[in-house]
C-alpha cells in the first residue's frame, strides 16, 4: 500500500492511499479519515459509497463529513466507484457505464468481467487492507452512500447480516431492475438473466429479507432524478416489512452535495448511536 497524502483534519488524519487490488486487477485509491481517538485505540468504521462519475475524492472534499466523524469518534472510508487505469474498459459515450460507474456488482460479461468486480472489492478486498493496516474495530461497522452509492450501501448491508450495525443513504437508486438507472447497467454487467440482477436491487432485498438494524433514508423532494431513483418503491417495501427505519422526503433539496452535506451531521450521529450502543 502506498500513502499518497496525509493531512491533519479536526484533530485526526485525512489520508489518501493506493493499493493493488486482486478483485479489480488494477491499482485502487481510497480515502480514510481517522479521528483523534485512533491514536490510542481501534475505532468504529463508517463506509461511504459514492455515486456515478465520482472518485474517492468527491465526498471526501464536498460532504463535510470529517467534522462530524471527529465529533463522534468514528473513522470514515471513501472508496473509489470503479476500477481505473490503462487497460480498464470504459464507455466514454455514457457516463453511467464503465469507469466511474461500477454499480457495486461483480460483472460477468465482456468486456467488464476482468476488472469490474466492485462487490468483491468493497466486501472482501478493501476490508482486508483496512483492518490489517489501520486501527479500526472490525466488529463495529456501518455503511452509507449517495445515489449509486446508496444503492450499493443498501444492497451490501442487506446481503451481509451482522456485519453492519446501521445503514443510511442519500437519494439512493432503490429499484434498479425497474429503472433506466439500473436496467441498462445490470444488462451490460450481468447479462440478460434478470434473476442475476435481483441481489442488487434494494427494493427486492427489502421485500425478501430486510436489514437487521436501523435504516435512515433521505431523499430530496426536488431531486431531478426522482423517476430513476424510485424512492416510493423502497418506502413501500419498508412499510410492508415493518422495517426499523426512517424515510424522509426533504422539501426543496435536489441530488447534489449541497443536499448531502446539509444532512451529513444527522447521518453521522445516527451511525455513531448504533456503533457505540
Whole-number percent of the chain with pLDDT over 90: 99
Contacts of 12 (CB under 8 A, 6+ apart): 33, 34, 35, 36, 38, 66, 69, 70
* C-beta of residue 255 within 8 angstroms of C-beta of residue 169: no
Domain assignments of the chain as residue spans, ordered by start:
2-276
Task: Please state the rounded mean pLDDT for residues 135-164.
Answer: 98
Q: What are phi and psi of 215, to 5 degrees?
A: -125, 150
Q: Which of 247, 251, 253, 222 is nearest to 233 (CA)?
A: 247
- Mean pLDDT taken over the chain: 98
Give the strand pairing for 164-170 and 215-220: parallel
Task: Please state the rounded mean pLDDT for residues 245-262.
Answer: 98
Mapping DSSP to helix (H, G, I), strand (E, B) and coil, where does residue 31 land? Answer: strand
Report the alpha-carbon distance of residue 229 to residue 19 in Å, rounded: 32
Predicted local distance difference test score (pLDDT) of residue 62: 98
Task: Please state the rounded mean pLDDT for residues 168-174.
Answer: 98
Predicted local distance difference test score (pLDDT) of residue 176: 98
E strand segments, the chain: 2-9, 12-21, 26-34, 43-49, 75-79, 136-146, 164-170, 215-220, 245-250
Predicted local distance difference test score (pLDDT) of residue 88: 97
Task: Please state the rounded mean pLDDT for residues 172-199.
Answer: 97
Report the alpha-carbon distance of residue 148 to residue 39 in Å, rounded: 33
Predicted local distance difference test score (pLDDT) of residue 156: 98
Residue among 50, 142, 223, 267 flagged as catalytic: 223
Residue among 175, 200, 255, 271 flagged as catalytic: 255
Residue among 142, 147, 166, 179 flagged as catalytic: 147
Answer yes or no: 223 catalytic.
yes
List pLDDT tens digits, range 30-40.
999 999 999 99
Answer yes or no: 27 catalytic.
no
CATH 3.20.20.70 fits 2-276, yes or no: no
Predicted local distance difference test score (pLDDT) of residue 250: 98
Report the alpha-carbon distance of residue 79 to residue 178 in Å, rounded: 27
Amino acid at each position: 500500500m502506498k500513502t499518497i497524502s496525509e493531512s491533519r483534519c479536526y484533530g485526526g488524519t485525512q489520508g489518501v492511499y493506493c493499493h493493488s487490488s486482486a478483485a479489480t486487477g488494477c491499482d485502487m485509491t481510497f480515502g480514510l479519515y481517522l479521528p483523534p481517538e485512533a491514536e490510542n485505540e481501534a475505532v468504529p468504521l463508517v463506509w461511504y459509497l459514492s455515486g456515478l462519475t465520482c472518485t474517492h475524492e468527491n465526498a471526501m472534499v464536498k460532504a463535510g463529513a470529517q467534522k462530524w466523524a471527529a465529533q463522534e469518534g468514528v473513522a470514515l472510508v471513501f472508496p473509489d466507484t470503479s476500477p481505473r487505469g490503462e487497460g480498464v474498459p470504459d464507455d466514454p459515450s455514457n457516463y453511467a457505464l464503465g469507469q466511474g460507474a461500477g454499480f457495486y456488482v461483480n460483472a460477468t460479461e465482456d468486456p467488464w468481467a476482468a476488472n469490474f468486480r466492485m462487490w468483491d472489492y468493497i466486501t472482501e478486498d478493501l476490508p482486508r487492507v483496512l483492518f490489517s493496516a489501520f486501527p479500526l474495530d472490525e466488529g463495529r461497522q456501518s455503511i452509507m452512500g449517495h445515489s449509486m452509492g446508496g444503492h450499493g450501501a443498501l444492497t451490501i448491508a442487506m446481503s451481509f447480516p451482522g456485519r453492519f450495525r446501521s445503514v443510511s443513504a442519500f437519494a439512493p437508486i432503490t429499484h434498479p431492475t425497474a429503472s433506466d438507472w439500473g436496467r441498462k447497467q445490470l444488462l451490460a454487467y450481468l447479462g440478460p438473466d434478470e434473476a442475476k440482477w435481483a441481489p442488487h436491487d434494494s427494493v427486492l432485498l427489502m421485500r425478501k429479507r430486510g436489514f437487521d438494524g436501523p435504516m435512515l433514508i433521505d431523499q430530496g423532494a426536488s431531486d431531478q432524478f426522482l423517476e430513476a431513483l424510485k424512492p416510493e418503491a423502497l418506502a413501500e417495501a419498508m412499510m410492508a416489512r415493518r422495517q426499523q427505519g426512517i424515510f424522509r422526503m426533504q422539501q426543496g433539496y435536489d441530488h447534489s452535495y449541497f443536499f448531502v452535506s446539509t444532512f451529513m451531521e444527522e447521518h453521522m450521529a445516527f451511525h455513531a448511536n448504533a456503533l457505540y450502543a
